[in-house]
């Protein structure tokens, strides 16, 4: 089975909390204000690949492949396939968007460091995502903290990051 981490456009309805990944929909709802609206920064694929390589060097991990693909499901922004060590960004939606890339890259980092031991969108994931958004000048960490607070999304403030 291919495990897919989806960054989906949130739907305005009440959802059941996913027990294995209780923060998932909070993160998606939060991203509607960032990825879906404010942070719509499309870059050329080689630039995003350079960021992937840089981040993975910094975290001491092998880099995933980065592909731009047309997905049938236009609600999907991006995906991380850990078995294939590949991140796909949806050409039909936000495309080569750095916000989407950093979400999927956070999945890669969490998977490589923790495997199944960390929730998909848990406190460790959000700590890494927060770090990446700040590191690559998308959203400064102090401003992201306000967003996390507003959406009730938690992160591990003690999570070890490269610097």
| Contact residues: Zn ion, CB under 5 A | 5, 7
DSSP string, 91-133: TTTT-SBHHHHHHHHHHHHHHHHHGGGS-TTSHHHHHHHHHHH
Taking the C-alpha atoms of residue 82 and residue 72, their distance in angstroms, rounded to an integer, is: 20
Minimum distance between the CB of residue 155 and Zn ion, rounded to whole angstroms? Answer: 14
Smaller CB separation from Zn ion, 3 or 50: 3
Taking the C-alpha atoms of residue 103 and residue 5, their distance in angstroms, rounded to an integer, is: 10
Which residue's CB atom is positioned nearest to Zn ion?
A: 5
Taking the C-alpha atoms of residue 125 and residue 122, their distance in angstroms, rounded to an integer, is: 5
Minimum distance between the CB of residue 154 and Zn ion, rounded to whole angstroms? Answer: 15
Smaller CB separation from Zn ion, 5 or 131: 5
Minimum distance between the CB of residue 63 and Zn ion, rounded to whole angstroms? Answer: 18
Smaller CB separation from Zn ion, 117 or 142: 117
Minimum distance between the CB of residue 133 and Zn ion, rounded to whole angstroms? Answer: 14
Smaller CB separation from Zn ion, 11 or 46: 11
């Amino acid at each position: 089975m291919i495990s897919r981490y989806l960054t989906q456009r949130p739907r305005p309805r009440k959802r059941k909390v996913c027990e294995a990944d209780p923060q998932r929909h909070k993160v998606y709802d939060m991203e509607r204000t960032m990825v879906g609206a404010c942070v719509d920064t499309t870059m050329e694929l080689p630039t995003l690949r350079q960021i992937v390589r840089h981040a993975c060097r910094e975290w001491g991990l092998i880099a995933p492949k980065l592909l731009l693909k047309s997905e049938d499901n236009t609600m999907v922004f991006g995906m991380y396939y850990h078995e294939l060590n590949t991140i796909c960004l949806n050409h039909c939606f936000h495309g080569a968007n750095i916000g989407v890339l950093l979400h999927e890259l956070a999945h890669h980092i969490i998977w490589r460091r923790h495997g199944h031991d960390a929730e998909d969108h848990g406190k460790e994931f959000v700590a890494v995502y927060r770090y990446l958004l700040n590191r690559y000048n998308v959203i400064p960490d102090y401003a992201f903290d306000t967003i996390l607070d507003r959406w009730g999304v938690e992160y591990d403030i003690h999570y070890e990051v490269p610097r």
